[in-house]
Structure 1
Amino acid sequence: MTRQLLVTFALTTSLLLAGCSSSTTKPEQYSGFLPDYSILKPATSASGAPVMRWVKPGLDLSRYSSVLVEQPQFYPKPKPSDQVSQKTLNDVSNYLQQAMKRELAGRLTVVSQANADTLVIRSAITAVDVSAEGLKVYEVIPIALAVAAASTAAGTRDEDTTIYVELQALDGGTSQPVAEVVRKGTGLQLENNSTQLTVKDLAPVLDTWAKDARNFKP
């Protein structure tokens, strides 16, 4: 096999492996927001998306009559960029909280203070990634706003957007976790690396996450 064929084979294999593993958050991309990632197991969300999750054995959601959706945080503090501004980050956090409240209101009473029959939803957005379309072999930097390195020529390519979240559901009476989920989602493509990311680009995936929270089953 020639050197050129070897390089081509290696690149193709890398792309295939990247594609197979890109549907869920990798362990090296965990942020540290959750206390113990070893308990997470592969699962499927209500919308059919692959996720990593843990559910307390014997969890009975019918015992909860209300839900408190805390403001989603960025963990740890992110570093805004020219393409991903602080305003966009604030908008994304606000949008996700409102979407969760809207969807969960169809299942539980949304409250602003927890009691014994309240399910508390705590979440952290751990990464927002913007990378050139077609450049699939790159390392997402967790806990950061990553812009993948690309050549000058790649500046005209569409930019893929990906967002990562880690979520905890807590018992309002004991403050102990009853469920945890780690997942990632793909937003709309940006026109090029000069296009600023806005909450509209991520709204579809945020809406899906909120609907999955409403339809969650142990």
Structure 2
Amino acid sequence: MSPLSLGFDAKRSLLCLVAAAAVVMAGCASTSSPAPQKNSGFLTETYYDKLASVQAPEDQVVYRFIAPGFDKSAYHHAIITPVTVFPKPQPTEQISMEMMLTLQGKLTRLIEDAMASAIPITNTSAPGVLRVEMAITGISISNEDLAPYEYLPFALVAAGVNSAAGGRDQEVKLFLETKLTDSVSGDVLAVGVREISGEDLENVKEKLQAQHLNQGLEDAGKDMARAIKEMFQ
């Protein structure tokens, strides 16, 4: 996997977007911008700092880190933990809890299929078994012509803070974070952060549906399967 032309500023912008959306998902929305954060907190600070950009589908941005001591020959099965939302989400006018649950189900099946293409799946922790955990750590909806650092978290948009936007299209971004650990020791083997673009919403009143992200999820599934196969080749 060769690096993309994305430097520190690009990584910082992505992590800041994840953090801003995560703050709102935790129910901290207000009429002012969320307090600055470097990341969502799903991964530890050490691993956010080690993330590096990798090749990804055109509509996505991916950062990944694989532990230097990772020995693929030491692992023969994987446990897939159902996808969660981190931090705990609060439904809004545009983002329903039903939609979030649908997304969690889709993503769980996606990572199961991607992992199973390279290594058998099990439900039991044991030596030689790794654990895969993925979380939705942010959803951003913004005017499509805004710069990345101007994205507004979805709850602020839904509340009408961006009233000047009128009927302009709203760009959808989904943020995912993943970690692979040893199921016995808990040692971190690999981590990743992924930004997925969805279909634009017509305006701030249109509700986000899981199908708005179908193409992005399909592309992500193929990319994950490719990356996992590379890890275990």
TM-score by length of 2: 0.73
What does residue 102 of structure 2 align with? Answer: 91
Quick one: structure 1 residues 26 and 35, their matched pair in 2 at CA, closer, same or farther if it must change by over 3 Å? Answer: closer
Whichever residue aligns with residue 44 of structure 2, its letter is P
Q: Which of structures 1 and 2 has the bigger CA Rg?
A: 1
CA distance in structure 2 between the aligned counterparts of 1:50 and 1:178, rounded to whole angstroms: 21
The alignment partner of 1:84 has SS state of coil
Alignment of 1:131-170 (within 5 A): 131-136=142-147, 138-141=150-153, 145=155, 147=157, 149-152=161-164, 154-170=165-181
Whichever residue aligns with residue 63 of structure 2, its letter is M
CA distance in structure 2 between the aligned counterparts of 1:25 and 1:196, rounded to whole angstroms: 24
1:101-159 deviation line (CA, Å, top 9, x unaligned) = 12222111122233222221111211111112223352454xx755374235x332111
What does residue 122 of structure 2 align with? Answer: 111
Are the aligned partners of 1:100 and 1:211 in contact in 2 as well (CA < 8 Å)? Answer: no
Quick one: structure 1 residues 68 and 139, their matched pair in 2 at CA, closer, same or farther if it must change by over 3 Å? Answer: same
Indicate the structure with greater strand content. Answer: 1
What does residue 74 of structure 1 align with? Answer: 85
Whichever residue aligns with residue 41 of structure 1, its letter is L
Please tell me whether residue 184 in structure 1 is matched to residue 219 in structure 2: no
The alignment partner of 1:189 has SS state of coil
What does residue 21 of structure 1 align with? Answer: 10
1:17-47 deviation line (CA, Å, top 9, x unaligned) = xxx8389623545111112245423220454
Are the aligned partners of 2:173 and 2:198 in contact in 1 as well (CA < 8 Å)? Answer: yes
In structure 1, the gaps of 5 or more residues are: 1-19
CA RMSD of aligned residues (A): 2.6
Are the aligned partners of 1:24 and 1:183 in contact in 2 as well (CA < 8 Å)? Answer: no
Are the aligned partners of 1:127 and 1:145 in contact in 2 as well (CA < 8 Å)? Answer: no
Please tell me whether residue 31 in structure 1 is matched to residue 43 in structure 2: no
CA distance in structure 2 between the aligned counterparts of 1:138 and 1:73, rounded to whole angstroms: 27
CA distance in structure 2 between the aligned counterparts of 1:114 and 1:214, rounded to whole angstroms: 22
What does residue 121 of structure 1 align with? Answer: 132
Quick one: structure 1 residues 191 and 24, their matched pair in 2 at CA, closer, same or farther if it must change by over 3 Å? Answer: same
What does residue 13 of structure 1 align with? Answer: none
CA distance in structure 1 between the aligned counterparts of 2:96 and 2:225, rounded to whole angstroms: 30
1:74-108 deviation line (CA, Å, top 9, x unaligned) = 11111211111000111111110011112222111
Moved more, 160-169 or 100-109: 100-109
The alignment partner of 1:210 has SS state of helix
After superposing on structure 2, the runs of 4+ consecutive aligned residues of structure 1 that deviate more than 6 Å are none
CA distance in structure 2 between the aligned counterparts of 1:115 and 1:209, rounded to whole angstroms: 29
Quick one: structure 1 residues 22 and 82, their matched pair in 2 at CA, closer, same or farther if it must change by over 3 Å? Answer: farther
CA distance in structure 1 between the aligned counterparts of 2:79 and 2:131, rounded to whole angstroms: 5
Are the aligned partners of 2:144 and 2:169 in contact in 1 as well (CA < 8 Å)? Answer: yes
The alignment partner of 1:173 has SS state of coil
1:160-212 deviation line (CA, Å, top 9, x unaligned) = 10011111001123221100112212111112222111111112222333333
Are the aligned partners of 2:134 and 2:178 in contact in 1 as well (CA < 8 Å)? Answer: yes
What is the identity percentage for the equivalent residue pairs of Structure 1 and Structure 2?
25
